[in-house]
Structure 1
Amino acid sequence: MKNNISADDLAVLLAVIREGGFRAASQRLGIAASKVSTTVSRIETQLGTPVLRRTTRSQHLTEAGQLLVDRVGPLLSAVDAACHDVATLGGQIQGRLSLNVPGAVMPDILPPLLAAYRTQHPDVEVEITVESDLVDIVAAGCDAGIRYGSVLEQDMISIPVGPRRQQMAMAASPAYLDAYGVPQVPKDLTAHLAIRYRLDAGPLLPWTLQCEGQSVKVEPQNALILSVGALNTGFRYAQAGMGIIYTFRNWLEDEFESGKLVPVLPGWWSDVEGPYLYYPSRFAPKPLRAFIEICQATPADA
């Protein structure tokens, strides 16, 4: 069967998926929402099969639509990047950098990197999507992602970004410890209230403690469970005396200095591997290559 689906029409379909709807896609593309809807309908007519399931609130790819996006998305991204590379040859880097990152890098790791990037490449528009689960960045229409090393896809190139190691610490408010006592050994934590985080996929982040080569997992009593997307807000609840929190030590330094929180079992704080930037090995457009250079030039302890 022969069809005459244009690259422009396919780009509209991809915009609908990436932006999460017809109206958002129309705003991104600068065209009427009715034209976006007509374009998708034209693609379905030419293919002879639906590519989107539409409801009043959302749109979801059909199996055929997913196959089309998986095959066409990387090709159109390559065409866009090639055009940008030619247009900016010998001049300022322009275009768009789309990153998919976990909330854990948003407060302190990513801001200085993007500030440096913005200074060097002011003509690049940067868009960040915050998610915690591992994402197929190609299918999601992102240039690169940031994740912690244990969940990286094997077919991706990855480079360290930010600190190479991060320390996990426990803390509580003075009022909480006055009321419930100060834990002396890891086993004591099982009788204490805790502020925990749940991953998007369902499981709670484990409390893994380490001391002189010994590793212990503990299960405290859950007083408050937060989505991992709220990772950098949990210490506010710890300040209010709701329980002991287990989070990145560098996020707690100001609280320790002010006395709003105090360290708990500091001899058992564990180290974890820092985050990585990951991206497809087959393709890196200029805006992404420039960001990679920023990451590689940043000191490991920054």
Structure 2
Amino acid sequence: MDRDLLAHFPVVLTVARRGGFAAAAAALNMSPSAVSHAVRSVEERLGQPLFARTTRSVALTEAGADFVASVGPALATVEESVERVRSAKGQVAGVLRINVPRLALPLAITPAIIEMSRLYPDLTIEVTCDEGLVDIVAAGFDAGVRLGEMIAQDMVAVRLTKPFMAIMVASPAYLEERGVPHSIADLSRHNCIGYRLISSAAAYAWDLQEKGQDVSVEVSGTVRVTDSLHARDLALENIGITYLFEPLVREDLRTGRLRQVLPAASIEEPGLFLYFPRYASQAPKLRAFIDVLRRSSR
């Protein structure tokens, strides 16, 4: 096998994982033309296309899917071997790829990244904000962040935050104009800033409790988003009532910019966790990140 060709294999895998040449180029810090050249070189050597290209999309061909399925694990094994060698020397270097929902950034991730940048200048932390339930192993991430209840049992989980409440909030101006709801049923008469789930494309029903029982409440309104921080911004602009995690609006509640609605209906969530496959825990870059996260969450 041509050694130069082997160097192109990670490029092919990145195009497959990122779903396009431009996204792969950004992830690899390469030009789109260089990525295209690498893929074309592999395709020419194999004698068949790996990707079906249109002006709007890039998708794996059957041959491409077979290539990724066979070469991906092999390259992962090589990367693990390199990490084990680095582990012996305790080097914290390379690229740490993590997949996180945007709400996790202010709650845990950003403070840890600031500390990691100071301590480990040879390490690059690549953060992908994603509100969907991505398969971190298949997508090439070292770790991800989710609510504890959403993590597969075969993953190792490290707590990032304490449990917190999921609450409803609105601005004083909105409540003065539209009135304060006194029951869950009253929400049907209010403009609720809802959510669209990226993973299933379904509208999210708010998880609440009524008389000690968990209930799922479908809400309606003029806006539906995929990002809770965006929902907060809209609530601050007097658009309506929204549902989000209390730490995201703690300062807004303290200063009076937002007010909690129906506090008795709030539920407790288990908190955010960093999760990763067990084999990845030996990598110095991930161990260092976990240590920093634990210190910053105390």
Partner of 1:293: 291
Provide the identity percentage.
Answer: 36
Partner of 1:244: 241
Count residues in correspondence.
295
* Alpha-carbon spacing, 1:218–1:28, altered in 2? closer, same or farther (3 Å): closer
1:226-266 CA-partner distances (Å, limit 9, x unpaired): 1x2x3112122212222111111122222222222212111
Q: Is the 8 A contact 1:190 1:218 kept in 2?
A: no
1:255-293 CA-partner distances (Å, limit 9, x unpaired): 222222212111221111212222223344321232233
| SS state at 1:135 partner | coil
Code of the residue aligned with 1:11 in structure 2: it is P
1:154-207 CA-partner distances (Å, limit 9, x unpaired): 43x231332231211111122221222211222222222111111113122221
Q: Is the 8 A contact 2:96 2:285 kept in 1?
A: yes
Q: Is the 8 A contact 1:74 1:138 kept in 2?
A: no
> Following the alignment from structure 1 to structure 2, what is the Cα–Cα distance between the partners of residues 167 and 232?
16
Partner of 2:70: 71
Q: Is the 8 A contact 2:144 2:274 kept in 1?
A: yes
> Following the alignment from structure 1 to structure 2, what is the Cα–Cα distance between the partners of residues 34 and 180?
55
Code of the residue aligned with 1:197 in structure 2: it is Y
> After the TM superposition, which segments of 4 or more aligned residues of structure 1 sit over 6 Å from their partners?
none
Code of the residue aligned with 2:156 in structure 1: it is S
Give 1:180-199 correspondences, 5 Å limit. Answer: 180-199=178-197
Partner of 2:96: 97
Which stretch shifts more, 87-96 or 245-254?
87-96
Partner of 1:147: 146
| SS state at 1:109 partner | helix
Q: Is the 8 A contact 2:91 2:284 kept in 1?
A: no
* Alpha-carbon spacing, 1:222–1:87, altered in 2? closer, same or farther (3 Å): same
> Following the alignment from structure 2 to structure 1, what is the Cα–Cα distance between the partners of residues 106 and 31?
36
| SS state at 1:223 partner | coil
Q: What are structure 1's unaligned runs of at least 5 residues? A: none
* Alpha-carbon spacing, 1:34–1:122, altered in 2? closer, same or farther (3 Å): closer
Q: What are structure 2's unaligned runs of at least 5 residues? A: none
Partner of 1:279: 276
Partner of 1:171: 169
* Alpha-carbon spacing, 1:67–1:294, altered in 2? closer, same or farther (3 Å): farther
Could you say what the CA RMSD is over the residues aligned between the two structures, in angstroms?
2.8
> 1:130 Cα shift?
1.3
Q: Is the 8 A contact 1:73 1:141 kept in 2?
A: no
| SS state at 2:291 partner | helix
* Alpha-carbon spacing, 1:33–1:110, altered in 2? closer, same or farther (3 Å): closer
Q: Is the 8 A contact 1:159 1:276 kept in 2?
A: yes
| SS state at 1:187 partner | helix
Which stretch shifts more, 93-102 or 138-147?
138-147
TM-score, structure 2 as length reference? 0.85
| SS state at 2:106 partner | coil
**Which residue, 259, 263, 266 being the options, matches 2:256?**
259
**Which residue, 217, 222, 233 being the options, matches 2:230?**
233
* Alpha-carbon spacing, 1:213–1:10, altered in 2? closer, same or farther (3 Å): same
* Alpha-carbon spacing, 1:56–1:190, altered in 2? closer, same or farther (3 Å): closer
Code of the residue aligned with 1:94 in structure 2: it is A
Partner of 1:111: 110
